[in-house]
Chains A and B, each alone.
Chain A
Amino acid sequence: MSNIILKNITKSFGTAKAVDNLNLEIPDGSFTTLLGPSGCGKTTTLRMIAGLETPTGGEIWIGDTCVYSAEKGIFIPPKQRNLGLVFQSYALWPHLTVFDNIAFGLTIKKLSKQEIAARVQEIATAIRISELLARYPSELSGGQQQRVAIARVLIMKPEVLLLDEPLSNLDSKLRMDMRAELKRLHQETKATIVYVTHDQLEALTMSSDVAVMHLGKLQQWAPPMQIYRRPANLFTADFMGNPKMNSLKGTIAKVDNGIVVQAEGFSIPVATGSAAAKRVGEAVTIGLRAEDLMVHLQAKPKTVSAIVYSVLPAGSEWYVKVNLGSVQLTLTVYQEMEMDADDTVWIELNTNRVKCFDSEGMRLDLM
């Protein structure tokens, strides 16, 4: 068993709190991603799990072992935690060959030369770097260095694999390939993976669970699609998804045929039985993903007119920026349309997908 439990973990640097009262329970064998902008405390959290940083308060459990407790004065050093960490920079030792880099941990364990050679060979074959063993890290490409860094960690058979932005130094094509490989690796090793990234697409495509962090605090912790569909707050909604979610200021209003949210000419009916009835008159923010907006070249019922600001073709889809009153919206369009800057178009909403947030930025389940 190697689930990871963080209880009330806090880490302060001076007066600044890098991680603020974080509670997380990473299940055994899961692929959990810590997602957030730089400075949100995700890497610090990872390093605390690894034992490279000591928290200021709280408890960390790996499996049945408490590896850190401020209260009880427990600190299990990193090497006894049976985990592997792949660094963002890969941290390959430049003065050692690939073989020696991979073999390092086993030589510390004082295994016999034959056994080390056999195990290095085995892992190198599995990860397809066996022809690189005699080289030095500086003679490898970024992708190859990445593989060596992973091999160096996997050879120790860790129960927990920590990955700190491992793809950020690769070009976008290679990144695509490596995503698939890392996902595959997870299925093969069955290790618990904790993955740190600021790239929401990586989080979406690879993880079984995503923990979104901001300013040291956990924002939401759920499977990726749930975060995308049902973001807990405005920050999460904003951070997940590309292009960025559109947001409009609106109010809850009572009209003839029930309660609606009114914003920039749109009138969005709320679901029956929702809490909206008690909140009539309250200001809210509504979130609209680019793909939940449809554009028409002619006026239609339930549409609102807007002026095209610019059109950005991106191959399989087009991004269209339109000015609607005082706000600018970004839309995704999936087929070619006759449209140019300054044209008038009509915007329709997919009302089922509209997200609504209260004045504090927390999600309201209205639709």
Chain B
Amino acid sequence: MVTERAEVRTQTACETVAPSRSALPPWLIWGGMIGLVQIFAMATVQPLGVSTAYPQFVGWLVDKIAPGFAESQPYLQKIGAKIGWEVMLVLGLALGAALSSVLPGGRATAACELPNVFRSAWGRGFAAFLGGFLILFGARLAGGCTSGHMLSGIAQLALSGFLFGAAAFTTGVLTASLLLERTNGS
């Protein structure tokens, strides 16, 4: 496992240095690819959506430890505590990332360090955990995340997607700007 070293000043540039022979920039190639994956998802089962899988998996897991949990929770009755398309999609995400990181060209594109605003590796680790908590709680309250509400919602011209995107970017931009301000550049 690569431990992400949280160092501020060592970071100079955040270029994606993919050794690509193609004239197309990586963001265009991979952004376009994600769009095509979206069309595949829409043509087969349903639009891309990641965050439902988290409570489904948690419900499934807790129900194994404490039988009857899934049945007792109204939210799990609504979404189902099951290993279906959503949880398999999430499994595939981790698998696809693992595949990309071991295949040629994977390392160069991942070389993008974090501007450290949390001083220590412990602080940074806690921030990742806390941030993870907030994105899932927020996404479940809103009914979707970046994929479900933005990649899929806005792509379907859903008004809920536009509202979610506007709300998330408002606090996201404010928080990130405040945090990066404290690091004095990078």
A and B bind: no
Contact surface of B with A, Cβ cutoff 8 Å: none
